[in-house]
Structure 1
Amino acid sequence: MKLDKSKKAVFFDVDDTLYDHLTPFRRALETIARPKEGFPYEAAYHRLRYYSDMLSLELGGAGSDDYESAVEDMRRRRFQLALQEFDIELSPEQAERMQAAYIGCQYEIDMFEGARELLQRLADDGHVVGLITNGPLEHQMNKIAAMNLGSIIPADRLFVSGDVGWDKPDQRIFVHVNERTGTSPEHSYYIGDSWRNDVIGALAASWNVIWFNHRGTTPESEHTPHHTAGSYTELAQILETAL
């Protein structure tokens, strides 16, 4: 698409940025493993995300030839590895049940307060609004459908790594989005929760980065996002000033 340097692009991550990704993890864990009272769900969730990213990277990412054939085993292993750190040993059968429960819960989505309203306002203001998310195409599109975002975001602004061929933090996925939407990096904004995937990846592509740090975690490197928001109220205020 022809480059229009005046067009402002605002793209969002999906998991744990548009909705609370901890909720389906907690529901699945309570259903299958039934941990003791006081279990550190958030800490375990962070380790699940770590192993999910690490194992996916070992497979070459969601767009690789090996990913499709090995993804189910990878999804089970991430639960086993993460929960081992919290003294919960899952058999392969339990890990498979955990994954099935987790997937089922992921399509029962309540967006963060203010998220839908902000997306609608940005679209109504004429900005190029879209999503960039890691994962298999069908899986991520099912989540997007569950949030009923089709009336706000057109299909050609939905970029899923399993379809595009590059996983965040590979900067090529952001370059691809600019090329497909006719936007420029200096006028592109990316909002995401993951330091490694979202902050580092978008910065590498010279995008403006807003770290959605709603969990109050600490930076993992010397990279510096342009802004940090802990809620959609803060995010809306940042974008109102920046755009």
Structure 2
Amino acid sequence: MISNSRQRAVFFDLDDTLYDHLIPFRTALTNILSTPEDFPYDQAYHRMRYFSDALSAELGGTPTHGEELHQMRRQRFQLSLAEFGLLLTPDQAQAVQDEYLSLQYAIRLFDGVEELILELKARNFVVGVITNGPPDHQMNKVRALNLTRLIPEELIYVSGAVGFTKPDVRLFRHVTDQLGLAPEHCCYIGDSWRNDVVGALDAGWKVLWFNHRSVHPESDHQPHHQVAGYPDIAKVLLSDYL
């Protein structure tokens, strides 16, 4: 337990920040819908994430179980893929979701993640993860990445377990309150504008927007840095930024 308000801390988002979330998405579409090589996977993935966040927000936060969760997951595929000419029935959307889910554990950390986390810890940073989703599902990804060899489980915060969902500032405040951290000495790295940039900034954290998909901002919020890869992230974090 950290009790020093001057302690510096770095927390990462999980999906599409610590590993490439596009790979299971692309493979699921290819396997189930036989989408061609030139299908705009990047753009479709971005829209799927957009609708996932938007539908979750309409429900008051990421649902963690039951038919509400299953319906949200089907709808995000139906709505996003319709924009690219793929009109899915609920059964087709469920088949894509099932395949997508089965592939989400065949994942590995982005190059440079492990080295950066080890260097941050060597410099006495608190290093953790804040992620949205059902606890079992997100922790299965953590185990698939063997992430607890780098970050202890007590520093991995899953919205479904905490009770608040990004971008709700209460999730970020829960972390700082529990660990005795000052928000201005905390930095959050994430890819989602709505969840990561907006949520962390509104909670008073410093923010690195990991915009490796080259998408556009969705509001007037101003992240402290915009980065496209782990060399850039390391350069910022290992300077005197915090």
| TM-score, normalising length: structure 1 | 0.95
Match of 1:222 among 220, 226, 239: 220
Deviating more after overlay: 68-77 vs 126-135: 68-77
Aligned mates of 2:37, 2:18 — CA distance in 1: 28
Q: Which residue of 2 aligns with 1:26?
A: 26
Q: Which residue of 1 aligns with 2:142?
A: 144
Letter of the 1:110 partner, please give it.
Answer: R
The percent of aligned pairs where both chains have the same amino acid is: 53
* CA-based RMSD: 1.5
Tell me if structure 1 keeps the 8 A contact 2:53–2:194: no
Q: Which residue of 2 aligns with 1:113?
A: 111
Q: Which residue of 2 aligns with 1:166?
A: 164
Letter of the 2:129 partner, please give it.
Answer: L
Aligned mates of 1:124, 1:108 — CA distance in 2: 29
- SS of residue paired to 1:103: helix
Aligned mates of 1:32, 1:199 — CA distance in 2: 33
Deviating more after overlay: 126-135 vs 86-95: 86-95
Match of 1:192 among 190, 193, 196: 190
Q: Which residue of 1 aligns with 2:120?
A: 122
Aligned mates of 1:62, 1:220 — CA distance in 2: 19
Letter of the 2:14 partner, please give it.
Answer: V
Aligned mates of 1:94, 1:81 — CA distance in 2: 13
Match of 1:78 among 67, 76, 79: 76
Aligned mates of 2:66, 2:175 — CA distance in 1: 23
Deviations 1:149-202 (A, max 9, x none): 112111111111111111111111000000111111010000001111111110
Tell me if structure 1 keeps the 8 A contact 2:10–2:125: yes
Quote how far apart the aligned CAs of 1:36 are.
3.4
Q: Which residue of 2 aligns with 1:178?
A: 176
Q: Which residue of 1 aligns with 2:10?
A: 10
- Structure 2: which 5+ runs fail to align? none
Tell me if structure 2 keeps the 8 A contact 1:119–1:152: yes
Aligned mates of 2:224, 2:155 — CA distance in 1: 23
- When the two structures are aligned, how many residues end up with a matched partner? 241
Q: Which residue of 2 aligns with 1:157?
A: 155
Q: Which residue of 2 aligns with 1:95?
A: 93
Deviation >2 Å, runs of 4+: none
Aligned mates of 2:97, 2:214 — CA distance in 1: 27
Q: Which residue of 2 aligns with 1:54?
A: 54
Q: Which residue of 2 aligns with 1:232?
A: 230
Aligned mates of 1:11, 1:68 — CA distance in 2: 29
Quote how far apart the aligned CAs of 1:3 are.
4.0
Letter of the 2:20 partner, please give it.
Answer: D
Deviating more after overlay: 171-180 vs 120-129: 120-129
Counterparts of residues 198-217 of structure 1 (less than 5 Å) = 198-217=196-215
Aligned mates of 1:205, 1:139 — CA distance in 2: 26
> CA 1:220/1:93 → structure 2, altered by over 3 Å: closer, same or farther?
same
Tell me if structure 2 keeps the 8 A contact 1:157–1:181: no
Quote how far apart the aligned CAs of 1:63 are.
6.0
Quote how far apart the aligned CAs of 1:37 are.
4.1
Tell me if structure 1 keeps the 8 A contact 2:191–2:211: yes
Tell me if structure 2 keeps the 8 A contact 1:55–1:78: yes
- SS of residue paired to 2:10: strand
Tell me if structure 1 keeps the 8 A contact 2:227–2:233: yes
- Structure 1: which 5+ runs fail to align? none
- SS of residue paired to 1:150: helix
Aligned mates of 1:158, 1:34 — CA distance in 2: 36
Quote how far apart the aligned CAs of 1:54 are.
1.5
